Amino acid sequence: DTTVKQNPRYKLARVGKPVNLICSQTMNHDTMYWYQKKPNQAPKLLLFYYDKILNREADTFEKFQSSRPNNSFCSLYIGSAGLEYSAMYLCASSRGGGGSYEQYFGPGTRLTVL
């Protein structure tokens, strides 16, 4: 099974409220990623976990948090949602730590902040 699951598929949030998105995979992959996709923009890497080590991109460092309580699950947390957070959030996982490994993507969570 190469499925990456994301919950919920659609999320409505109010400005200033927290948001927590969940991703899971059962492939025992070492690495899990979060990307943000906005209209007319390329998917953008936000952060990734390699095993238990979190790596966050420099330009989004303070905007997103994440946790990985076990190998299968990874969350993306927004402490105080702003309108600019409205986007599709894609989770992915890959075997191993090298960049040449294929990433398996989930269907995404569409977040709308009002």
- State which of residues 28, 41, 52, 83 lies at the interface with other proteins (CB under 8 A): 41
- State which of residues 30, 60, 65, 72 lies at the interface with other proteins (CB under 8 A): 30
Nearer to other proteins, 13 or 36 (CB): 36
Check: CB of residue 11 under 8 Å from CB of residue 19.
Answer: yes
CA 71 – CA 85 distance, rounded (Å): 27
CA 27 vs. chain centroid, Å, equals 17
User: Amino acid identity, residue 45?
Assistant: L
| Least distance (Å) between residue 17 CB and other proteins | 27
**Residue 98 contacts other proteins per CB under 8 A:** yes
CA 85 – CA 58 distance, rounded (Å): 17
- Tokens encoding 52: 């238990």
Q: Using CB under 8 A as the criterion, which residues of the chain lie in contact with other proteins when the complex forms?
A: 4, 30-31, 33, 35, 40-45, 48, 50, 55, 57, 90, 94, 96-100, 102-108
